[in-house]
Amino acid sequence: MTLMPDSAESAGLDSADSSCEERTVKQLLLMAGQALKARGADADEARLESELLLLEMTGKSRAWLRAFDDTRLSLEVQHRFEQLLQRRLSGEPLAYILGRKDFWSLELYVTDAVLIPREDTEVLVTQALQLGRQLEIETGQTVLDVLELGTGSGAIICALATEETLWQFTATDVSAEALAVATTNVTGHGFAGQTTLLLGSWFDALENGMAASHESAAPRFDLIISNPPYIAEGDPHLDAPALRHEPALALSSGTDGLDSIRHIVAAASRWLQPTGWLLLEHGYDQGPAVRKLMRQAGYENVATALDLAGQPRVTMARHSVAAVQIAGAAK
């Protein structure tokens, strides 16, 4: 859905009327639904979003809204509801307005400091679980060490931790604000005991951690995973109303969108176990380029998994002696 900014009056919000009359639940939902449909939402989407916004103000259930839709709401609740609705009409994503987003089996806290977790990224979680469990069978391990680069909200780490309670996670992010969001989610869902969060850009966060702890040997991970920025700078999609509200640092990376992926592929072998896997989410049209980068870096078993729409979304590759030699020669 594309929502275009406009004035409250032209969106169907008559501030003069709403400020002096207590409206019913039904009247508010009808008004909001009409305004959202005028901005491009279909009927079901408009109804759902209207209800979610009103639930945020009333603390009631959707069943209550429908059963007691003749209830009149206070002018204060009405005014706050219309403020939230106007934010939505201006194009702000619903997740940022509500401060939460469902991902995997979890409800996650989000702010505009992080990307909104998307369903396509669940493919990355699924592939990491499959490859990790395969590693456990091959090696006899019961505890895997997993590194996520650019964790954002912590959605991927939290999803993996719900499924694998013995795995140990390290997650990095260059943004202190994003890391604070991840900390809230990791702690709130009970995963703090198996998770270490580090501030820094990509592998620099690990280097900083080593320096702070006076460790000389780099830690090695069984899985390194990332959903890095991969949209090309100047791509017209960046002007979409929803993306304009998301952090640019987490969206675009170089003229072809592959700068971050190049860096991760080139540097990852130093941090991988000899049997480890590297998994990267990328754009639907970047599969061939990412596979080429991985093969050039000496990785083996390079493959790409499709998302729910059948588009190439996650490319994975296995560590090899060749990857170590190429990475060493590149230093």
Residues facing 148 on adjacent strands = 171, 225
pLDDT of residue 18: 46
**CA angle 327–275–304, rounded 5-degree value:** 80
Q: Annotated binding residue at 275?
A: no
pLDDT of residue 50: 95
Q: Annotated binding residue at 173?
A: yes
pLDDT of residue 181: 98
Say which amino acid occupies 231.
I
Buried b (16+ CB within 10 A) or exposed e, 58-75: eeeeeeebeeeeeeebee
Q: Annotated binding residue at 152?
A: yes
Per DSSP, 237 falls in state G
Whether the model clears a pTM of 0.75, i.e. scores above it, the answer is yes
Give the residue among 68, 76, 75 at the shortest CA–CA distance from 22.
75
pLDDT of residue 17: 46
Helix (H, G, I), strand (E, B) or coil at 95: helix
* Ordered mean pLDDT values, 10 residues apiece, the chain (331 residues): 44 48 92 93 93 93 92 93 94 95 97 95 98 95 96 98 97 97 98 96 90 79 96 80 81 89 96 96 96 96 95 95 64 60
| Angstrom distances, CA of residue 12 to CA of 5, 7, 35, 110, 220 | 13, 9, 5, 29, 57
Reported residue count of the chain is: 331
- Burial category of 147 from C-beta neighbours within 10 Å (exposed 0-12, middle 13-18, buried 19 and up): buried
Run of H or E residues at 108: strand 106-109
- Burial category of 329 from C-beta neighbours within 10 Å (exposed 0-12, middle 13-18, buried 19 and up): exposed
Q: Annotated binding residue at 44?
A: no
Buried b (16+ CB within 10 A) or exposed e, 156-193: bbbbbbeebeebbbbbbbbbeebbbbbbbbbeebebee
CA gap 93, 249 in Å, rounded: 18
Question: Are 150 and 250 in contact, with CB atoms under 8 Å apart?
Answer: yes
Q: Annotated binding residue at 17?
A: no
Q: Which residues contact 4 (CB under 8 A, 6 or more apart)?
A: 39, 40, 91, 241
CA gap 89, 3 in Å, rounded: 6
pLDDT of residue 331: 60
Q: Annotated binding residue at 228?
A: yes
pLDDT of residue 43: 93
Strand order in 312-318's β-sheet?
A: 195-199, 168-173, 145-149, 221-226, 272-281, 312-318, 300-306
Q: Annotated binding residue at 202?
A: yes
**Going from the N-terminus, what domains does the chain have, and what CATH number goes with each?**
15-91 (1.10.8.10), 101-330 (3.40.50.150)
Give the residue among 295, 257, 294 at the shortest CA–CA distance from 279.
294
Buried b (16+ CB within 10 A) or exposed e, 236-260: eeeeebbbebbbeebbbbbebbbbb
pLDDT of residue 65: 92
Q: Annotated binding residue at 185?
A: no
